[in-house]
Chain A
Amino acid sequence: MNNKWVDGFSRSLIQHAARTAPASLSERLEEEWSADFAERSGQLARLRFAVGCCWATRVIAHEYLEPKVVAATAAGPTTGSKVMSAFAQPDYSFLSRRTTAFVLIIGLHAVIIYGFATGLGHKVKDLISLPIDARVWDAPKRVDLPPELPPPPKLTRTIIEVPPTETKFEVDKSGLQEVVMAPPTESQGSGTAEPPPHLVNRVSGGPGKSFPNTDDYYPAPEIRMEHQGLVTVRVCTDDKGRLTAAPTLAETSGYPGLDQGALKLAQAGSGRYRAATEDGRPVSSCYPFRVRFQYKN
């Protein structure tokens, strides 16, 4: 930015500000501000000083106007014309209100025409309009509480202590060892010597050592109602102890909640079953086992 140009512009601003001040102060302010302007160093400081003088003119003119209006008003009711003439001060702003409004209207029209001509309206519309984000939320699943819940046995009791259960599993030991007769051969009855029967040592499967704890699957409502019982679940496992089919209920305990708890326990234990063996070799098999839910105070 050219220094001379800034100086000249600043001086012009000061002169303009001083000349638009009230007439009685105009000459004084112009000389005073010019003298103080000369003491300022730096282009930016001088420009700031000049702009500040423009603002000072507006403030001074406003304060200068007030006493005149008050004096004219205090003169009496017949001096309406004096009051009006007191208000009739020159406009100290750069542009009159009418000119400012006219410029604003012209500018607004220019912007609108420019928007239509360049398609700016579509761009603005695209910017403003957000994509519709339609989300369908699944309704929360309704949890059916057990019918006719009796009141808690003791209202003052706040902590429910789940008692440890005793024997959890009772594996059906009936099939622990079986003797399977080998099928008869064609040579039977022919009078030849029969080969000795082939004995297969079969051990039934069951819950392994790291099987889940029954307490973790004892349904809380059943505990509150002090329900207990024995559930027989039938499972089919492979040679790794993993479930090959969903567990089924072989014998109910009489309480649906306990039955469901046992089925969940059987399902959770997949991979932790002890596979059945035949001659020590793990094989796939199906077998029942029992889960006991026992409530203790």
Chain B
Amino acid sequence: MGKQDRAVRMSLQTLRTLESFLENPTDELSGADVQKRSGLASGTLYPILLRLESAGWFVSRWEAVDPASVGRPRRRLYRLTPTGLARASEVFASFGRGVLT
């Protein structure tokens, strides 16, 4: 999935996902973290995360831990890109939410 800034269909679930990141745009969140904040089901959340990453709004990386030492798989961490932050802010501003600029 290439990184490119293209139009993203804004559904209510997408807005809730973005809102989870806009609480602190510099945070890196795993899918489980976003799920806790947004309350979305996994079947809805992960396609949205991949969609936004594909659109260039998010970047993701693996957690820098050794799975053998921590005894669990690595988490995938997502973070808003500057482009994603700007686009998300525009979207929420158009709804009159007055979020980050």
Contact across chains for A56 and B75 when beta carbons are under 8 A apart: no
Contact across chains for A35 and B41 when beta carbons are under 8 A apart: no
CB-based nearest B residue for A62? B47
Contact across chains for A59 and B47 when beta carbons are under 8 A apart: yes
Q: Confirm or deny: B73 has a beta carbon within 8 angstroms of a beta carbon on chain A.
A: yes
Q: Confirm or deny: A32 has a beta carbon within 8 angstroms of a beta carbon on chain B.
A: yes
CB-based nearest B residue for A25? B50
Which of B32, B41, B46: most chain A CB closer than 10 A? B46
Q: What are some 9 contacts across the A-B interface (CB < 8 A)? A: A28-B76, A35-B32, A35-B76, A36-B30, A36-B75, A52-B42, A56-B44, A60-B46, A60-B47
Known: A32-B31, A60-B50. A38 touches B72 (CB 8 A): yes
Question: Which residues of chain A have C-beta atoms less than 8 A from B35's C-beta?
Answer: 36
Contact across chains for B75 and A53 when beta carbons are under 8 A apart: no
Q: How far is the CB of B58 from chain A (nearest CB, A)?
A: 13
The 9 closest A-B pairs by CB, nearest first: A52-B42, A55-B43, A52-B43, A32-B76, A35-B73, A36-B32, A59-B47, A56-B46, A39-B32
Number of interface residues of A (CB under 8 A): 24
Contact across chains for B75 and A35 when beta carbons are under 8 A apart: yes
Number of interface residues of B (CB under 8 A): 20
Q: Confirm or deny: B87 has a beta carbon within 8 angstroms of a beta carbon on chain A.
A: no
The distance in angstroms between the C-alpha atoms of A40 and B30, with both chains bound, is 13
Q: Confirm or deny: B74 has a beta carbon within 8 angstroms of a beta carbon on chain A.
A: yes
Say what secondary structure dominates the interface of chain B: helix
Question: Which residues of chain B have C-beta atoms less than 8 A from A39's C-beta?
Answer: 30, 32
Q: Beta-carbon contacts of A252-280 to B below 8 Å, as 1s and 0s? A: 00000000000000000000000000000
Known: A60-B50, A63-B51. A36 touches B31 (CB 8 A): yes
Q: Confirm or deny: A49 has a beta carbon within 8 angstroms of a beta carbon on chain B.
A: yes
Scan residues 42-60 of chain A and give those whose CB is less than 8 A from a CB of chain B.
48-49, 51-56, 59-60
The distance in angstroms between the C-alpha atoms of A49 and B46, with both chains bound, is 11
The distance in angstroms between the C-alpha atoms of A38 and B30, with both chains bound, is 12
Contact residue among A25, A51, A63 (Cβ-Cβ distance under 8 Å from B43) = A51
The distance in angstroms between the C-alpha atoms of A143 and B27, with both chains bound, is 89
Scan residues 75-101 of chain B and give those whose CB is less than 8 A from a CB of chain A.
75-76
The distance in angstroms between the C-alpha atoms of A60 and B72, with both chains bound, is 25
Scan residues 57-77 of chain B and give those whose CB is less than 8 A from a CB of chain A.
63, 72-76
